[in-house]
Amino acid sequence: MIERQPTDLPQWTAEAKDKLNSIPFFVRSQARNRIEAVARSQALETVTADLVEQVRLQFGQ
């Protein structure tokens, strides 16, 4: 079995990618980084649309 490293990037569901793509392009990379950081802090392997929404609400956007 392959052990995941903390720096590994999580996989994104299609729905999560759609939500990310609805974020304005000029802040999209910051949003992606923040969402992936939250996913890593929660030891998640997959970013879901629910996580994207959770982070969006957390940061009031």
What span, in angstroms and rounded, lies between the C-alpha atoms of 48 and 27?
A: 19
Domain assignment of residue 4, yes or no? no
What span, in angstroms and rounded, lies between the C-alpha atoms of 61 and 13?
A: 21
Helix, strand, coil in percent for the chain, rounding step 5:
55, 5, 35
**Residue 48, pLDDT above cutoff 90:** yes
Q: Which domain holds residue 29?
A: 11-58
Domain assignment of residue 38, yes or no? yes
Each residue's pLDDT tens digit, 7-38: 578 999 999 999 999 999 999 999 999 999 99
Beta carbons within 10 angstroms of residue 55's beta carbon: 19
| CATH number for the domain harbouring residue 38 | 1.10.8.550
pLDDT at 41: 95
Total domains, the chain = 1
**Per-residue confidence at 6, pLDDT binned at 50, 70, 90?**
low
Domain assignment of residue 3, yes or no? no
What one-character DSSP code corresponds to residue 45? S
**Residue 61, pLDDT above cutoff 70:** no
